[in-house]
Structures are given as structure tokens and as C-alpha cells.
């Protein structure tokens, strides 16, 4: 038991998939895991543990944004011995050439958050994915024919920008090659790095802020299933490589 997770010690696997939405955690457990058991209901942050192709895997919802995500990631790492954390979520593309439903593999995450300012004395930390997970995800996604982009993301504290900067706030980021905005990855990569655990964010483009293109909820659900399967295949393949 930790502050926000009621799971018994040892009942969460070293591999954990991290969707934001609790119902998506339940969907993965029901659809893709064998013998899945619910290990957490505290705050409705649903979490499940089962097996995928014979390997124990957990899926734990994190809520939205870095503060919520960091609580679960920290407790999974420090109290439950998580060694591989793969976020599966959505992002808003900030470059016109990205299409909705494309995959973004977050190589590294910049952030506009002050969350880790004190940790690094105000300097910036390059929050980066684990290369073996990133390269494996890229290879598998490409083999499956999924349009896939590898690049940097912006982990933002805000989903809704100020009205005055509505159509321009992303320009400095896009001009530095950043592909998309989301709200969790920088915390995941920073906390995983601190404990020498592996981490990756696999994201589906749910909307394009430049072109205004948006996915339907049906497209989001199908895209989510494909992304969950990719994350599971990356995880179980990678367990044997380190």
C-alpha cells in the first residue's frame, strides 16, 4: 500500500502501462490482458495487473497533467519496484504536417512547468526516453504501417492557453522542431531517470492545433487500442534485452 495506491506489495508488475483515463486502463485489462485483477480503486484511478503473452504487466491510470501523473509514477517506482513505464496517451500536434491518428514517439520532452525547477537549481534537464524502448517502438510501429513520427514534445501545464495567445503560443516550440503538446511526459521521464528505470511515451495525435483537424471519439478509441497493443509488444519484447 502507498498513499494513493491500495495494491498489496508485490501485486503490481515491474512493467506498467500508463494511460491517463481510468476507463482506458479497464479497457486494456479486459481486452488484452489474461487473468487481470484490479489492484487499485482509490480515487477511481483504476489499475489492473495480468499477463500478456506470459509476461506480467500492469496498467495504471494516472489522471491528467504532471502533478497527478507524478504521484502515480513516483509510488510505482519507489514503493512497487516498477522498472519499465510506458505512457499511452494523446497529444495535440503543433506542426501542420502531422495528421490526426498519427503516432508520436516522444524522444524527449521540454516543459513550461516549474515542477522541477528546484531540483535542478533553475537549469533545464533533458527529459529523454529510453533508447531501447524508443527504437523498438519505432521498428514495430513502422512494420505495422502506422504513420509514425519520432521527435520532441512539449509537456504543458495547461490544456487551455490564454485567449490572447490562442493561435500563436506554440510558435517558439514548433520553430524548434517540437511536434506536439501533451501534459505528462516530462515528469515521467524525469522520475524514471532518477531511479534508472526505463520509460517511453507513445502518443496518438488527437487534434492538430495548426490545421484545426480533430479526431472523432470512435477514431480515438480505435487508435487507442492499436497504441495499447504496440506498447504491450514493446514492453514484453524489451523485457529480455536488459
Q: Interface with ligand HPA includes 184 (CB under 6 A)?
A: no
Contacts of residue 208, defined as CB under 8 A and 6 or more positions apart, other chains included, come to 92, 93, 96, 98, 99, 100, 214
Residue 56 and residue 49 in contact, taking contact as beta carbons nearer than 8 Å = yes
Closest CA to 146 of 31, 233, 19: 233
Q: Return the sign of the alpha-carbon dihedral for residues 85, 198, 136, 157.
A: positive
SS3 215: coil
Q: Closest approach of Cβ 181 to ligand HPA, in Å?
A: 4
How far, in Å, CA of 38 to CA of 47, rounded? 6
Closer to ligand HPA by Cβ: residue 13 or 181: 181
Burial of 85 (0-12, 13-18, 19+ CB in 10 A): buried
Nearer to ligand HPA, 117 or 157 (CB): 157
Residue of the chain from 159, 175, 176, 214 that contacts ligand HPA (CB under 6 A): 159
Applying CB under 6 A, the site for ligand HPA has a residue count of 11
Q: Does 215 bind ligand HPA (CB under 6 A)?
A: no
Per CB under 6 A, does 120 bind ligand HPA?
A: no
Q: Are 190 and 140 in contact (CB under 8 A)?
A: no
> Closer CB to ligand HPA, residue 56 or residue 220?
220
Using the rule CB under 6 A, which residue among 61, 62, 206, 208 binds ligand HPA? 206
Q: Of 32-40, 89-97, 111-119, 219-227, which part binds ligand HPA (CB under 6 A)?
A: 89-97
Q: Does 182 bind ligand HPA (CB under 6 A)?
A: yes
C-alpha–C-alpha distance, residues 49 and 108, integer Å: 28
Q: How far is the CB of 57 from ligand HPA (least distance, A)?
A: 24
Closest approach, Cβ 2 to ligand HPA, in A, equals 27
For residue 102, state whether it binds ligand HPA (rule: CB under 6 A). Answer: no
Measure the CA–CA gap between 109 and 183, rounded to whole angstroms.
10
- Grid coordinates representing 59? 496498467
Stretch that binds ligand HPA, among 53-61, 76-84, 108-116, 178-186 (CB under 6 A): 178-186
Told to judge if 207 belongs to the known catalytic residues of this protein, a careful annotator would answer yes
In angstroms, the CA 33 to CA 24 distance is: 13
Q: Which parts of this chain interact with ligand HPA (CB under 6 A)?
A: 90-92, 156, 159, 181-183, 206-207, 209
Amino acid at each position: 500500500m502507498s498513499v494513493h495506491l491500495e495494491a498489496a506489495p508485490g501485486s503490481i508488475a515491474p512493467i506498467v502501462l500508463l494511460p491517463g483515463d481510468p476507463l482506458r486502463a479497464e479497457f486494456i485489462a479486459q481486452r488484452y490482458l489474461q487473468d487481470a485483477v484490479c489492484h487499485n480503486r482509490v480515487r477511481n484511478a483504476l489499475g489492473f495487473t495480468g499477463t500478456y503473452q506470459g509476461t506480467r504487466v500492469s496498467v495504471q491510470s494516472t489522471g491528467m497533467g504532471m502533478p497527478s501523473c507524478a504521484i502515480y509514477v513516483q509510488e510505482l517506482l519507489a514503493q512497487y519496484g516498477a522498472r519499465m513505464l510506458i505512457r499511452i496517451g494523446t497529444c495535440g500536434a503543433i506542426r501542420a504536417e502531422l495528421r490526426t491518428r498519427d503516432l508520436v514517439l516522444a524522444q524527449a520532452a521540454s516543459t513550461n512547468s516549474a515542477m522541477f525547477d528546484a531540483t535542478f537549481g533553475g537549469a533545464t534537464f533533458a527529459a529523454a526516453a529510453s533508447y531501447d524502448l524508443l527504437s523498438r517502438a519505432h521498428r514495430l510501429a513502422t512494420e505495422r504501417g502506422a504513420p509514425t513520427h519520432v521527435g520532441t514534445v512539449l509537456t504543458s501545464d495547461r490544456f487551455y492557453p490564454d485567449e490572447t495567445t490562442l493561435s500563436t503560443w506554440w510558435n517558439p516550440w514548433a520553430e524548434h522542431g517540437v511536434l506536439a503538446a501533451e501534459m505528462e511526459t516530462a515528469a515521467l521521464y524525469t522520475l524514471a531517470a532518477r531511479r534508472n528505470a526505463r520509460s517511453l511515451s507513445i502518443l496518438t495525435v488527437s487534434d492538430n492545433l495548426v490545421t484545426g483537424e480533430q479526431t472523432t471519439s470512435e477514431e480515438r478509441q480505435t487508435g487507442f487500442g492499436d497504441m495499447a497493443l504496440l506498447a504491450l509488444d514493446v514492453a514484453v519484447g524489451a523485457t529480455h534485452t536488459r
